[in-house]
Amino acid sequence: MRASGAWKPGSAACLLRSRGVSRRRPLPSDDESLRGVAGWIARAQDATRDGGVAGRYRLSSGWSSSYPETSGYLVPTLLSLADALNDARYLERAQRCVDFLLSVQLPDGAFPALEVAENRTVPSPFNSAQIVHGLHAWHERTGDARALDAAVRAARWVCAAQDPDGAWRQHFYQRLACTYSAHAACWLADLGAVLGESTITAAAERNLRWVLGRRDRATGWIDACGFSEADHAARRAVTHTIAYTLWGVQLLAERLESVDGLEAARVAAEALLHRLERSRSLSGVLNHEWRPQAGFVCLTGNAQLAVLWLRLAESTDDIRFVNVAFKAIDEIKRAQSLQSHDGGIRGGVPGSWPIAGGYLPYALPNWAAKFFADALLAKQAWMARAERTH
């Protein structure tokens, strides 16, 4: 009860809605959902005083402190929102994120793990690479040399922290080698290609080889993609980290021209497609046979997978990927409240649905909002291409 914030009217309404959402309820339009989530991201940034974006909104206690990692990869999303909504204020918000990130970068080039209220000194390779992505995008948009310098220093630190086999263990979450590190290596590959810096590109290549070495060719599953040793032993993971893994492999394979990587991402994405079609909803936790292991939906994973499926639809012309992406997006729309009087709830995306589920219960994380915005923008782009070709 304490975590649910049920004594607060807005939280109580969210809890009731979480228990009673009907598939027959009319869904908002894509534009309404996009504007709603964009507004939520803006409020999450305004809730802090340092320019970063609050990591999450908790139903019980409200906004948390700024989260460097997600403030970093929100930069490309804010740039896209500025274009899609024709609103320069999102460019200003991206600038504020960049200024915040430059203020928290560590002397050796790394960026800290966790939110700033929890940690400002302990580095993280994964988080640093996500921030490299944001700084690189900002530099490409504006030519800001500060951002490129910070990105290069961070990338070199991430490379130095890598183990010889291509995994990251030192400073990684729980000091555990995880294949979702592909979603860090892919941003190294992008930066390395632009700079022509072979050491950065080589680190990305090593990680891709290490990740593909853990692929189960019988099912398409990639082992060690969960958050914990228990997840790895049980060969299960939340869809958020499954999507991190597959999206990272897809981007690495595209950049490094890896046929094996492209096949691995496609086969796993097809398995996930079949699972959602069979179950009508995607369980928030799946095992190595793509079987449901939980009774809640991880909405972040849905959004990430929708982006991946639409990317594959573009490269393969397989309309099934479009269909399943739209279904995953609709699942998130059902959970998004656009009428709440609570600004921390209105337009945001819960970690789990129902909101009491096992992934970030009773909270709305900013990365769920980020990936939902990305998914809606990817859908918008796909629809525009489809209209042009027909």
Mean pLDDT of 66-80: 98
- Separation CA 201–CA 159 (nearest Å): 9
Compute and round to an integer the Cα radius of gyration of the chain: 20
Model pLDDT, residue 282: 96
Q: How far is CA 381 from CA 30, 385, 386, in A?
A: 12, 6, 9
- Separation CA 389–CA 349 (nearest Å): 33
- Separation CA 370–CA 320 (nearest Å): 24
Domain assignments of the chain as residue spans, ordered by start = 50-161
Model pLDDT, residue 20: 66
Antiparallel, parallel or unpaired: β 236-238 and 62-63: unpaired
pLDDT tier at 375, thresholds 50, 70, 90: very high
pLDDT at 350 over 70: yes
Model pLDDT, residue 173: 87
pLDDT at 300 over 80: yes
Model pLDDT, residue 21: 56
Identity of residue 313: A
Model pLDDT, residue 12: 87
Residue 54 neighbours by CB distance under 10 Å: 24
Mean pLDDT of 211-220: 98
Mean pLDDT of 374-384: 97
pLDDT tier at 161, thresholds 50, 70, 90: very high
pTM, whole model, 2 decimals? 0.97
Model pLDDT, residue 19: 76
Q: How far is CA 27 from CA 32, 334, 372, in A?
A: 10, 7, 15
**Backbone dihedral angles phi then psi of residue 71, each to the nearest 5 degrees:** -60, -35
Mean pLDDT of 163-184: 95
Cβ-Cβ contacts under 8 Å for 132 (sequence gap 6 or more): 72, 151, 154, 155, 158, 187, 188, 191
Mean pLDDT score of the chain: 96
Reduced to 3 states (helix: H, G, I; strand: E, B; else coil), residue 90 is helix
How far is it between the farthest Cα atoms of the chain?
56
Model pLDDT, residue 23: 57
**Backbone dihedral angles phi then psi of residue 362, each to the nearest 5 degrees:** 60, 35
pLDDT tier at 24, thresholds 50, 70, 90: low
Mean pLDDT of 65-73: 98
pLDDT at 94 over 60: yes
**E strands in 6-162:** 56-58, 62-63
As a whole-number percent, the residues of the chain with pLDDT over 90 amount to 91
Mean pLDDT of 139-148: 98
